[in-house]
Structure 1
């Protein structure tokens, strides 16, 4: 019988010992499988869809074992008649995939904030400083809480999350979704209104190497303009005081994809999606929001061997749009996406 609490304990213990990456906290959603390579010294997380095993993020473990772990997973997939592809891979290990004959396609960039340098001083921070001061004058308050959480608090967070979602579906795989068990693994940053009610929150995921990620972000639909700006600023100030060095803002999909001279056809199509695809997903808006804070961007790549790209992209879309909670059928999801475009 699967022991959820034991799984969480073992994963957290491994990450504390080996560090993590910008996606490792998503293992705790428990919607993916874990492959232990190199005699259980390297962790690879993945999910199967159709004839593919889709790995999420870089392998985690001793750097000297990463190359062997990648080959071991490829051999495992092949033995099952499956094709491995690797999603949101950082440039650090790309030469290992290249040696195995893989191709690369840029997916977007992860925004990062250098916390020791974070400041709202000067002309550049004037707008955000004004917004923060306005919320403070109006008696909005910020605090960070640590697990375990009461049922009352979890219920209040669920109400905020449901308000933010509205009629939307939760997503999964590479996108965090709300579950009481998941958010109970992390500290939670809270922004409260003058009446003391929670208007926005975010889970704060750590990779155990002085880095932190703003993870699940939710706000009330009725929250005032600038709420998420203020929440982010408070988180940066808090994390800086706690001695964290970097804060990840997560992916900006399709950011700086296909905007160079003579891009490949696939990159041109992705660039068009970035520029004009807001009916499905506000790619530009997300990048502009994160760009207020990020002082550097790290590219992430899709790593694959020869395949029919349109089919692979559809499989990735279905994978991300199948949440760990509701798991709608593929055709229902496709109809939903098409309806949004109609």
Structure 2
């Protein structure tokens, strides 16, 4: 069925954004078992919508989208898409005092004794330096997840880094800004040897910059396989069960506890597909995204230990 009524929805799936491009760019992955095309993320012109993208480029394709907020998921469901909840998204309300909580201020002050947070303009050297930081970060030696969020510093993204007194990067936040009033965390990196509190310093400083520019909500992105509701449908329970088998290498509960330090509220995140969301599509998604490879590495390390 044709997607309708998305032209007047400002929200986009996570990791999608808008910029001043005249034509859209997207990351599309053909899934081998289900035959669906996974639109992992896209950069759209300001007036371009998912309706335009489907009609002009993917009219005859089965599609899969992840990271959909309720507004997008409900519109897609009304147009015949199948949708399931696969996690929750933490949101910072920049008009609140959540980034001024005592615990966050304390950690931020401790970190700022060792350096400062700056925004880095896009340039090729910064792209390479962010890749280096990713290798230096905790779990940098493990298989990395793919296509679930943006990991490359591109002109349509924003980069805040914690720089120490020796001009070394100790941590970074990579953001997208799909509208002037919303920002989304794409990548959080912290060197293994970095001082405590640098993530608090990064979020506090980035939040202050964004608020001064008129931004009002700052998404912490998704905590997958985690739900606040208990009324899960069978397919939602299956995804959650499989995901939680990865606890040794991807601790969703730990990620939730970290993001809960900042979040003012949480909302569900949906996986959406047309014409249907089959088990094959889920296997495709786990395989292509690197989740199965990551889970296998965790199993190997446990046996080796």
**TM-score (normalizing by structure 1):** 0.69
Report 1:145-224 matches (<5 A).
145-148=120-123, 151=125, 153-164=126-137, 165-178=139-152, 182-183=153-154, 185-224=156-195
Matches within 5 A, 1:1-342: 22-25=14-17, 46-50=28-32, 51-56=35-40, 75-77=59-61, 83-121=62-100, 125-136=101-112, 138-148=113-123, 151=125, 153-164=126-137, 165-178=139-152, 182-183=153-154, 185-256=156-227, 259-261=229-231, 263-273=232-242, 277-304=246-273, 305-306=275-276, 308-309=278-279, 311-321=280-290, 336=297, 338-340=299-301, 342=303
CA distance in 1, matches of 2:59, 2:302: 40
Structure 2: distance between partners of 1:173 and 1:303: 16
Check whether the contact 1:23–1:57 (CA below 8 A) recurs between aligned residues: yes
Match of residue 3 from structure 2: none
Which deviations, in whole Å up to 9, do the C-alpha atoms of 1:168-217 show, x marking residues without a partner? Answer: 23332222234xxx345533212122433221122232224332222222
Q: Which has the higher contact order (CA 8 A, sep 6+)?
A: 2
Q: Which has the higher strand share?
A: 2
Where do 5+ consecutive residues of structure 2 fail to align? 1-9
Q: Deviations over 1:36-84 (max 9, x none)?
A: xxxx99887532111221233699679997568657777511xxxxx43
TM-score normalised by length of structure 2: 0.77
| Aligned Cα root-mean-square deviation (Å) | 3.7
In the aligned structure 2, how far is the partner of 1:197 from the partner of 1:42? 35
SS at match of 2:60: helix
Bigger helix fraction: 1
Structure 1 residue 291 displacement after superposition:
1.2
Q: How many corresponding residue pairs? A: 288
Gaps of 5+ in 1: 1-17, 28-39, 78-82, 323-329
